[in-house]
Amino acid sequence: MIPIVWIHGYPHSPAIFEPQLEIEGYRHIRPDLRKMRGNTMREFAQQVLEQVDDERAIFAGVSMGGYIAMQIYRDAPERVAALILMSTRETPDDDAGRAARMKAIETIRKDGPKAVTDALLPKMLIGEAAQRDGRKILEAAPAEWMIAALQAMAERPDSTETLRNATVPALIVVGDKDPITPPTDAERMVAMMRDAEMAPIANASHLANYERSQQVNHIIEAWLARKVIAHSRVSATR
């Protein structure tokens, strides 16, 4: 079975992709970034690749996980069969963005992670039930890893040319009420890529895959059937 590598974001865990395990016909791999070393996208990307057999895979990343998926394509394009980029963007942080990351690091060191996750939760999820369950996931993130992740995001490279030169199919998923990476980010990425489709998710915020999982799963299943499975069958008959 073709593997799908689900790469979570900040300050999440592999549990954020629990709903996607219902997608049948694929081997699901969910790396736990919280257990990885380093504080750069390249270091995280290399350790994600180490968890995948030496074969091509579909790399699906949400938020920071999208940054890592783009880094994987930049470093090892031969390992990537397709990209699913959810609630993310290709551009690096600007000065204000980096300053906000550094401020968050200071807050974690001074007041603990909860002060940061409390502020993030309403931006990540808008439904009451989703917020209740999502809070448990966010609050499980260790302070040391949150700081390393913030440092990695603050210094991440520009992935504009990576996407512009990408030759694999890509699905860009975005919640229509996402205040962190709004639909305009998704529209920009789709416009610059050779083979990309946008999947706007209604009444969803940053973690649309968790909050509107049935809708997202249906879209992913249909897209994979068209763009990955069908292409693999054609290639196998040549």
pLDDT tens-digit series, residues 169-200: 999 999 999 999 999 999 999 999 999 999 99
Quote the percentage of the chain above a pLDDT of 70.
Answer: 96
Asked whether the beta carbons of 51 and 31 are under 8 A apart, the reply is yes
pLDDT tens by residue, 79-129: 999 999 999 999 999 999 999 999 999 999 999 999 999 999 999 999 899
Quick: pLDDT tens for 50-64. 999 878 999 999 999
- Look at residue 139 and tell me if it is in a domain: no
pTM of the predicted model as reported, rounded to 2 decimal places = 0.95
Asked whether residue 150 is assigned to any structural domain, the reply reads: no
pLDDT value, residue 54: 76
For residues 37 and 57, the answer to whether their CB atoms sit within 8 Å is: no
121 in a structural domain: no
Q: What is the number of domains present in the chain? A: 1
Is 119 within a domain? no
CATH number of the domain to which 168 belongs: 3.40.50.1820
Is residue 47 one of the residues assigned to a domain?
yes
Reference 61, options 78, 45, 37, 83; nearest CA is 83
**What range does the domain containing 180 cover?**
3-91+158-237
pLDDT recorded at residue 229: 80
**Do the domain assignments include residue 102?**
no
Give the SS3 label for residue 164: helix
pLDDT surpassing 50 at residue 238: no
